[in-house]
């Protein structure tokens, strides 16, 4: 049983509308790499140029913030749920653009 990654609404255009994706990997980072292969463009929204989580995005392994664990190197096992939780200001203009980004 692979790891389930929950995709927040603002990133669903990159996951072809899917709210979750089943992926393989031994660490959170490997799962995000699988996510990038499955949904190109996703990792740059979640991680910065150095490959670390952006400051306005949190990643939870089950109920726990991965920053409280081993960060992106936290080990994951089959059946785990990784939730991408971006800062949500609300319905303000520009919010989804902020996460989706248009730098490229």
Partner 1 sequence: MATTIKELMSEIRTRVKEATTTEVKARTQSGEPLVLIDVREPDEVDQGHLPGATHIPRGFLELRIEALAPDRATPIVAYCAAGNRSLLAAEGLQRLGYKNVVSMSGGFNRWRDEGNPVVVPRRLSEADRRRYSRHLMIPEVAEAGQIKLLQAKVLLVGAGGLGCPAAYYLAAAGVGTLGVLDFDKVDESNLQRQILHTMDRVGTSKTESARRTLLGLNPGINVIPIEARLTSANVESIFQDYEIIVDGSDNFPTRYLVNDACVLLKKPNVHGSVYRFEGQVTVFHPPAGPCYRCLYPEPPPAELAPSCADAGVLGVLPGVVGLLEAVETVKLILGAGESLVGRLLHYDALKAEFRTLRLRRDPKCRYCGDGVRFPGFVDYEMFCANPASVAH
Q: Which stretch binds partner 1 (CB under 8 A): 25-33, 36-44, 72-80, 88-96?
A: 88-96
Give the three-class secondary structure for 94. coil
**41 conformational bin, left if phi > 0, alpha if psi -120 to 50, beta if neither:** left
Nearer to partner 1, 39 or 84 (CB): 84
Nearer to partner 1, 19 or 37 (CB): 19
Please provide residue 84's backbone torsions phi and psi, each rounded to the nearest 5 degrees: -90, 120
Instruction: Tell whether residue 50 is a contact of partner 1 (CB under 8 A).
Output: no
Query: Interface residues for partner 1 in 8-37 (CB under 8 A)?
Result: 8-10, 19
């Amino acid at each position: 049983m692979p790891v389930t990654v929950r995709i927040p609404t603002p990133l669903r255009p990159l996951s072809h509308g899917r709210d979750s994706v089943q992926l393989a990997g031994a660490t959170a980072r490997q799962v995000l790499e699988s996510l990038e292969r499955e949904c190109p463009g996703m990792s740059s929204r979640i991680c910065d140029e150095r490959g670390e989580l952006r400051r306005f995005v949190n990643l939870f392994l089950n109920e726990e913030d991965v920053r409280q664990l081993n960060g992106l190197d936290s080990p994951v096992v089959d059946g785990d749920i990784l939730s991408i939780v971006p800062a949500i200001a609300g319905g303000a203009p520009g919010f989804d653009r902020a996460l989706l980004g248009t730098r490229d």
